[in-house]
Amino acid sequence: MSDQTTYPPSLFPILDRPASAALLARVVETARAAAPRAIVAFDLDSTVLDNRPRQARVLREYGALHRLDQLAASQADDWQGWDARIAMSATGLPRDLIDAHIGPFRAFWRERFFTSQYCVEDRPIPGAPAYVAAVLAAGARVFYVTGRPEEMRSGTLICFARTGFPRPDGRAVELVMKPVVEEHDDLYKARTYAVLRDRGRVVAAFDNEPAHINGYRDAFPDATSIHLATDHSMRDIPLAAGIQSIRDFLS
């Protein structure tokens, strides 16, 4: 299992391991104290799940289709962020071929990446399955709040089962997904705050997107909002005051 050190350098200060472990432990204790009404919200992509194996599969299939041996050998850690050019270059593909194939690859990628068939490839952010289980054991309810559309539910559940995450049961664990893929993630995430507020007391939230974790901070000022410094959409959005960044869930 990768320790995530292959992610590109973070734009945000990251807590060192002891401080990160202490922060994660405080969330569990807060959840225990606030149970059974406590809710901890987790985003999925680049928060508890690493999508790079999925990215690599798409690139390998494209490479095999077009007889590009370098791309056909793509590995997850070739992906440093969401720029396919960087991933292609990491395989050794020459610049002229990258320029020729980046457009067709993006179209190929869009048809596959946001599907159940491909999201089964995702791997956990280190420590994430055990940490989600610890939050659940403390008596909190776990809400996976993801921008994935409903049509990705089956693949997401398969991935949970394969990787050891607590699976949604409609009681202690819920999976909240976008009803339609066309809805912008920012608008969707903002809508979910009211849903969470109606279901209990949000004591903590985890998300890799600065815009989204800032939204949690605004909506639930008494909760602990934690940023995952993995990768994100690269919009120039600073973190709100009081939000700390961690690399993973290892303690």
Which whole-number Å values give the CA distances from 134 to 40, 61, 180, 229, in the listed order? Answer: 11, 37, 32, 21
pTM: 0.93
Per residue in 2-33, pLDDT tens? Answer: 444 466 667 789 999 999 999 999 999 999 99
DSSP letters, 48-66, are TEE-HHHHHHHHHHHHHHT
SS3 content of the chain, % helix, strand, coil (to 5): 45, 15, 40
Report the percentage of the chain scoring pLDDT > 90.
Answer: 88
* Chain mean pLDDT for the chain: 94
Q: What is the mean pLDDT of residues 25-46?
A: 98
The pLDDT assigned to 1 comes to 37
Residue 105 DSSP label: H
Surface-to-core class of residue 124, CB atoms within 10 Å of its CB (0-12 exposed, 13-18 middle, 19+ buried): buried
Residue 228 phi/psi, 5-degree rounding, is -90, 115
By three-state DSSP, how is residue 129 classified? helix
- DSSP notation for 146-169: EEEEGGGHHHHHHHHHHHTPPPP-
Domain limits of the chain? Answer: 17-50+123-246, 52-118
Average pLDDT over residues 151-165: 97
Average pLDDT over residues 38-47: 97
d(CA 16, CA 14): 6
Q: What is the pLDDT of residue 7?
A: 66
- Upper half-sphere CA count for residue 227 (Cβ side, 13 Å): 27
What integer is the mean pLDDT of 109-138? 97
What mean pLDDT do residues 86-96 have?
97
Q: What is the pLDDT of residue 162?
A: 96
Residue 86 pLDDT greater than 90, yes or no: yes
Average of pLDDT values for 139-149? 97
Region 91-98: what's the mean pLDDT? 98
Q: In this structure, which topology does domain 17-50+123-246 adopt according to CATH? A: Rossmann fold (3.40.50)
End-to-end CA distance of the chain: 15
Structural contact between residues 227 and 208, judged by C-beta atoms closer than 8 angstroms: yes
Query: What pLDDT score was predicted for residue 2?
Result: 41
CB atoms within 10 A of CB 214: 19
Residue 8 is predicted with a pLDDT of 65
